[in-house]
């Protein structure tokens, strides 16, 4: 059975031996070469829509490379009857010359199936933030450059923190600012020792409106034309009784703004998810120098379980951009940003505020933000 550790050797074999180039069989035909590996098919289409079918692999470790060589005006739908992923996606679409798809066969039980090794532009594949897989290109990380790209660090600026129990992962002196309203003595934010995958906790005081906030000091993200942003975090509110009686904020904020005593939890500058005291609605707001654009009730917040929140920002030349929010990987209705002409540079923020008596904990798993340079 083939496994991930064999891939480097397989790719080295490709580089050493080259690809077997096979002519395109034409519209409605099957791409098949059996055990002759690895195979490259350049597809040529005519003016009308066309189809091809890829053969089911006959063993593990096979590789096929398919590209649209000549775009005659019609798209080409490629059917992979064995499926491309665990969801059994069976079709991808080539729409433009130069689009490329590389597949690798794996053993699943007693059958063999294709999996995406690499792709460029093919509709039906996307980058999920870690690797290529089949699925709609509406996924949040679809347009983000890949860390596998040797130029990745020259293409993007990335901040990621998994909050492991090491002092460097939450440096409250040099990296993060902690602010609080703490009548009840909740204490500062703290890393959780030996937590699965790492956690950071913000513990409120025991009185109504006691709050704590952490903000990254380095302001290195900015809403600007051509500078796409991808933001994602995962966290939970630990205390079951606080689903409604609490406020929280997670996102990007300007100039270490202190939101612990701000009634509506909204920053003067930033893009933040938030929940207001008295309801369980997950909202998102973009703020530019005090001007707010909001999308309310994107989903329902539940306590004692992790929730993954993210957004993708794409600027427009008019001075406003589109923000597409995601909850647990599902896209919600996009909103247009507040005009970003005066919006300051931003950095990650988390804030929790108690909505009634009784201390509570916000437990943060990770935060990741990527922006085009």
> Quick one: pLDDT at residue 25?
92
- Residues of the chain with pLDDT > 90: what percent? 39
pLDDT tens figures, 154-180: 999 999 999 886 677 788 778 888 887
Q: What is the pLDDT of residues 328-338, one digit of tens each?
A: 988 999 988 88
Q: State the pairing for strand pair 321-327/330-331.
A: antiparallel
Q: Band of the pLDDT at 35, cuts 50, 70, 90?
A: low
Return the closest-CA partner of residue 115 out of 129, 131, 134. Answer: 134
Buried b (16+ CB within 10 A) or exposed e, 121-153: bbbbbbbebeebbbbeeebbbbebbeeeeeeee
Q: What would the mean pLDDT of 55-69 be, rounded to a whole number?
A: 91
What integer best gives the mean pLDDT of the chain? 84
Task: With cut-offs at 50, 70 and 90, classify the pLDDT of residue 8.
Answer: very low
Q: What is the pLDDT of residues 138-159, one digit of tens each?
A: 678 877 887 777 788 999 999 9
pLDDT confidence bin for 191, thresholds 50/70/90: confident
Q: Does residue 12 have a pLDDT over 60?
A: no
Length of the chain counted residue by residue = 373
Q: Is the per-residue pLDDT at 366 higher than 80?
A: yes
> Could you report the per-residue pLDDT of 242-274, keeping only the tens digit for each?
889 889 999 999 987 899 889 888 999 999 999
pLDDT for 298 beyond 80: yes
Token pair recorded at residue 31: 């791409």
User: What pLDDT is attached to residue 188?
Assistant: 67
């Amino acid at each position: 059975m083939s496994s991930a550790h064999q891939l480097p050797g397989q790719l080295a074999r490709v580089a050493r031996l080259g690809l077997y180039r096979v002519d395109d069989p034409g519209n409605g035909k099957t791409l098949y070469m059996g055990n002759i590996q690895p195979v490259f098919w350049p597809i040529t289409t005519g003016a009308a829509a066309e189809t091809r079918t890829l053969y089911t692999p006959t063993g593990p470790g096979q590789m096929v490379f398919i590209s649209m060589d000549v775009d005659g005006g019609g798209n080409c739908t490629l059917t992979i009857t064995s499926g491309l992923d665990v969801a059994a996606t069976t079709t991808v679409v080539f729409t433009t010359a130069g689009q490329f798809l590389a597949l690798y066969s794996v053993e699943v039980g007693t059958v063999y199936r294709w999996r995406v090794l690499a792709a460029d532009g093919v509709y039906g594949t996307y980058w999920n933030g870690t690797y290529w897989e089949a699925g709609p290109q509406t996924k949040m990380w679809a347009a983000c450059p890949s860390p596998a790209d040797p130029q990745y660090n020259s293409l993007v600026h990335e901040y990621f923190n998994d909050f492991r129990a090491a002092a460097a992962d939450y440096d409250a002196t040099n990296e993060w600012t902690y602010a609080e309203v703490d009548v009840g003595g909740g204490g500062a934010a703290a890393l959780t020792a030996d937590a699965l995958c790492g956690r950071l906790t913000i513990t409120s005081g025991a009185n109504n409106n006691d709050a704590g906030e952490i903000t990254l000091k380095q302001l290195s993200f900015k809403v600007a034309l051509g500078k796409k942003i991808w933001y994602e975090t995962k966290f939970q509110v630990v205390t079951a009784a606080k689903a409604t009686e609490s406020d929280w904020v997670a996102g990007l904020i300007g100039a270490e703004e202190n939101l612990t005593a701000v009634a509506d939890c909204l920053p003067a500058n930033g893009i933040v998810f938030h929940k207001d005291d008295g309801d369980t609605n997950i909202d998102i707001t973009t703020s530019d120098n005090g001007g707010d654009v909001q999308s309310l009730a994107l989903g329902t917040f539940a306590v004692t379980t992790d929730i993954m929140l993210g957004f993708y920002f794409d600027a427009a030349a008019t001075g406003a951009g589109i923000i597409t929010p995601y909850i647990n990987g599902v896209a919600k209705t996009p909103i247009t940003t507040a005009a970003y002409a005066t919006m300051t540079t931003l950095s990650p923020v988390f804030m929790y505020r108690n909505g009634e008596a009784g201390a509570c904990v916000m437990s943060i798993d990770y935060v990741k933000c990527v922006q085009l340079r």
